[in-house]
Structures are given as C-alpha cells and as structure tokens.
Amino acid sequence: MSAINIKTLSRENVLKFLKSFDTVLTDCDGVLWLHMTPLPNSSNVMNLFRKFGKQVFYVTNNSTKTRDDLVEKCRALKFQANKDDILCTANLSACYLQSLSCKKTYVIGSEAIARELEQVGISSFGIGPDVINPNTPYSTFEKDPEVTAVIVGLDEHFSYPKMVKAATYLNDTNVHFIGTNTDERFPDFSKDVVIPGTGSLVRCIESCAERKAVIMGKPDNYMATMLMERSNIDPQRTLMIGDRCNTDILFGTRCGFITLLVLTGVTALSDVEKWKQSEQQEERDLVPNYYIDALGDLLPYLKE
Ligand code: PLP
Ligand code: CA
C-alpha cells in the first residue's frame, strides 16, 4: 500500500483517479459529518459523484440509527440518499437474523435495533435500564425459551444484570451471537474524556460468554456480502472512503477496493506513516492507497 497524498498529484492524475471507480462507499461520521455538523463541501462532493453516474453507498457502523433515521439525517445535511443506499449495523443485524429464521432476540443496544428487527418480524426485549434488585439473586434468572439470538450494540444502560442475561442465553451454543461493530472508542471530543464504543461492550460479553460474536460492521465481511448481494459492484472499480483505518480502510483492503483516508476523523497521518514501515502485514493492511485532508478538498477537481 502506498498512501499517496491526493494533493501531490497533478490535476490530470487526480482526474484519472476520479475516473478509476464507478462505485463509492463512504463511512459517515468523520467523513461526511461530525455528529450533527456536516464537514465543509462533503455533501457537494458526494452529490457530484452521484451526478457523474457513480453508485453511492453510505456504510456506517453506528448501531443507534435505522436506515430511515440515516436517510433523514443525510437529507437534513444535504446529502442525496435513498434507503437502499444505506448500510447500517442495526439493519444488517435484522437481515442476518431474518436469514436464520430467528423470531425473538435479547438486545443489549438501542431502540434503532428493536425497530429494524420489528420491520422484519423479529421481536426483541432488553432495551433500557436493567436495575439490580437486591432481593432477586442472579441465580433465579429464568431464560425465555423463545430467544434464539443475542445482539450487542451501543447501550448507554450497559450493566452487570445485562451481562448475566446475555451470557446465560449464549451458554446455549444454538443461540446466535451478534455484535454490531468493534469500534473501541468514540473520537476524542475532549482530550480528557474517553467515551467507550460498542467494541468495548462486545468484548465484554464475548469474555463472559466465552464465545466470539459475529460482527455486522466494518471491517468484517458481512457488510460486503450484503452489498454484493444487493448491487452489482466491481471491487477493482470501487472506492472506500473512511476516517478510521482499523474499520474503514481494513474493510476496503480486505474487499479489494481502492481506499481513501480522510484526516477529519479518527486516524492521524502519523499512524499511517508508522504502519507503512511495519514488518507486520496486519499493520500494513491498515495503510490506505490514498489520503486527503478532507473529503471536501476533492470539490475543485469535480467542478469543471
Ligand atoms: N457507533 C456509534 C454509536 C456512533 O455514534 C458512531 C458515530 O457516530 C459510530 C459507531 C461510527 O460510525 P461511522 O462508521 O459512520 O464512523
Ligand atoms: Ca467514521
């Protein structure tokens, strides 16, 4: 992998790069927006890709939004998007369990997961606080025999009682175990506070369940499988844009896509420089083909 700074290329070579793909997959947070704030010109770039006939997909690890929520957010922030253009981990969890004919799920996560499950006829419970009752020992917990899967996504009410329940269900090896994504932390909003991401919760349940989860999001391959199933894409003519190398860029590398890192999110250029020199293939797989300071910096090349 090379990590070419787009800005060092001649205009002719940037145009060549832009013509080298027909499909664009973009991560959302850190590339298109930061929380609720759109990054400058990123919507213009994405909308021009679409205008020039490229297929565009929004691929996010965020499990707290449904596809409908994300269409709404895209449109509010001026990104053209339809439901079929969105791949998100709440929806993928529902699709995966539907394909396994699952009917009832215990969820550590958010309402978005329950809503996506409901849309495919899967019932769920577990969302919200699970309080410790000092009069009810954990040993009296009784499993619902209809539960055939456990999903772990981002849950601000994550707790010891939830760990007990998830691990108890998962003690039955016939019960499916889904983790929405593995992002360890949220980007540093403040230098002094660490906000744990879903990956930390998934690892916690994997530890007490003594099993590994099937992961829906980047860099694991279920997302790519679904993408290939739903659309006609040629990996060699597909661009994956991301801000986080151990999810987005690794996903792109594994799928054989062209990869572009933007420096508006999680990964810093100093990390890329370090991985480039690494003796370990695992670290070299994190190095993107190209990088640019911000997605919006492509705008002058798209506007003739
Ligand atoms: N998970 C949660 C709960 C989030 O809120 C976010 C970003 O907002 C992410 C994961 C990362 O999302 P993305 O893959 O779009 O960067
Ligand atoms: Ca991101």
Does position 219 have pLDDT exceeding 70, yes or no?
yes
Kindly list the catalytic residues. Answer: 27, 29
pLDDT band at residue 138 using 50, 70 and 90 as cut-offs: confident
116 touches ligand 1 (CB under 6 Å): no
Residues 6 or more apart whose CB falls under 8 angstroms from that of 167 comprise 205, 208, 209
Predicted ipTM of the assembly: 0.97
All residues with CB under 5 Å from ion ligand 2: 27, 29-30, 243-244
Residue 65 CA to ligand 1 centre (angstroms) = 9
What ligand 1 atom has the least distance to the C-alpha of 64?
A: 3
Say what the pLDDT of residue 179 is: 98
Mean pLDDT of 246-253: 98
Confidence of residue 139 (pLDDT cuts 50, 70, 90): confident
Distance 127 CA to ligand 1 centre (A): 19
How far is CA 180 from its chain centroid? 8
Q: What are phi and psi of 152, to 5 degrees?
A: -120, 115
Establish whether residue 30 lines the binding site of ligand 1, counting it when its CB lies within 6 angstroms of any ligand atom: yes
- The pLDDT tens digits for 55-106 are 999 999 999 999 999 999 999 999 999 999 999 999 999 999 999 999 999 9
pTM over 0.90? The answer is yes
Instruction: Give me the residues paired with residue 85 across strands.
Output: none
Burial of 119 (0-12, 13-18, 19+ CB in 10 A): middle
Cα of 89 to ligand 1 centre, how many Å?
10
